[in-house]
Amino acid sequence: MTLVIARFPTSEQDDPSVFRVIEGVWQDAGVLSNFVPTVDDVTVMAVVAPEDVRCHWFTLPDLQGRQAETVAKLRAAEQSLGLVHISAGTDYDDVIATATIAPEVMQRGLDRLGARGLNPDIVLPFASLVRIHSDGVFRAEMDGLSVLRGAQFAIPDEAMLRDLFIGDAQIENMDSDSIRSMLLSASAAPLLNLREGNFAKRDQAVWVTAEQKIWVRRLLAALLIVTMMLTIATLAKYWTATASENDAALAAAQKIDPAIQDIDQAESMLAASLNRQGKTQSRFAPLSAAVWRSVKAAPNVSVRELRYTPDGILTVVLAAPTADNINNALVTIQQDGFRITATARQDTTGATLVDMTVRMP
């Protein structure tokens, strides 16, 4: 298990140091711009400079738990200028610690760390590391950060702020081992964590592992190969069956006309051969379709009789109130290219009848 600790960048030019803690052993991982993450980096913690975050401690003896933290956040927001991101946690007894940071500062730090492959699990103020339960002022320093921590305040270590908050009070410096111990304790149980709310860490869900992806690719490739083989087998079966049917059809056509040599020419040559022998293929369907199409297009025209003879001639009796109605139907059939003969007459009711024959072109 590896813990990565970095200072939250304070500006675009800031290049903080990064540390790795492996089994309690601290290692300098170089500066952020040269940092290379590894798969063993389990936990990442970022420490925010006191200049970028304000810490407040509120005593709320009548409240506990989430209710106390909510009230502390509201009070911290009231004391802030402008919009801030707030986190809170119980420090000791009835004291609630809060940290407020500008959203743009928070986002800038996360972006800078994210650009180098660091996605912090914990973001906390450097001041919250120094947890004291007595009077006195302590000074802690880490990678250029310096904070002065009192019982109810935490400020950057600057001369003007010293005079304002501390005066002549004695300042106790914390050694590096104590600070490192506090960092390790905070990584396991932070007092508060700014990675909440809008800045909560959202890890991308991993639906399949790298090994599973390899097997998925293999299965897809196998499925593609099997599909192609089945398609080829089906086509081969179809081509074999078609060739067999074509051979049978060609053999049957050659019995009628031995001159037929090609299946593509069999239909046209067979029709010509049948015509020469006084036989005909069935042409009832196209002839009747032409008649019904013309009758449908001509209003008031009806079919009285319909006969089809073996010589391929369709005999039809059309009826209509006037000859003009029937003429429209006859014109339509002729425009379709069929050969017709028509003889007009009248029945006993006075309706116009036409005895018509229809042949293929």
Task: Give the span between the Cα atoms of 93 and 42, in whole angstroms.
Answer: 32
Q: Which tens digit of pLDDT belongs to each residue from 170-224?
A: 888 889 899 999 999 999 999 999 999 999 987 655 566 677 888 899 999 999 9
| 245 or 222, higher pLDDT | 222
The CATH number corresponding to 2-199 among 3.10.20.600, 3.30.420.380, 3.30.2040.10, 1.10.3720.10 equals 3.30.420.380
Q: Lowest-pLDDT range, 26-35, 233-242, 265-274?
A: 265-274
Domain with CATH 3.30.420.380 in the chain: 2-199
For strands 352-359 and 314-320, give the pairing.
antiparallel
Residue 113 has what pLDDT? 93
Q: Give me 264's structure tokens.
A: 């593509």
Nearest to 323 by CA among 292, 356, 291: 356
- What number is the average pLDDT over the span 20-41? 91
The mean predicted confidence, pLDDT, of the chain is 85
CATH 3.30.1360.100 domain range(s) in the chain: 284-359
Q: Using CA atoms, how far apart are residues 322 and 350, in angstroms rounded to an integer?
A: 9
- What's the topology of domain 284-359? Gyrase A; domain 2 (3.30.1360)
339-346: strand order across its sheet: 302-308, 314-320, 352-359, 339-346
What residues pair up with 3 in beta bridges, in sequence order?
A: 21, 43
Q: Which pLDDT value is given to residue 273? A: 57
Q: What is the pTM of this model?
A: 0.54
Q: How many residues does the chain have?
A: 361
Per-residue confidence (pLDDT) for residue 18, from 0 to 100? 94
The answer to whether 358 and 291 are in contact (CB under 8 A) is yes
CA distance 358 to 336: 11
Least confident piece of the model among 38-42, 177-181, 278-282, 335-339: 278-282
Order the strands of the 137-142 sheet from edge to edge.
154-156, 145-149, 137-142, 171-173
Query: In percent, how much of the chain has pLDDT > 70?
Result: 91
Q: Each residue of 122-152: pLDDT tens digit?
A: 999 998 888 776 678 889 998 888 999 887 8
Q: Residue 250: in which H helix or E strand, if any?
A: helix 210-256
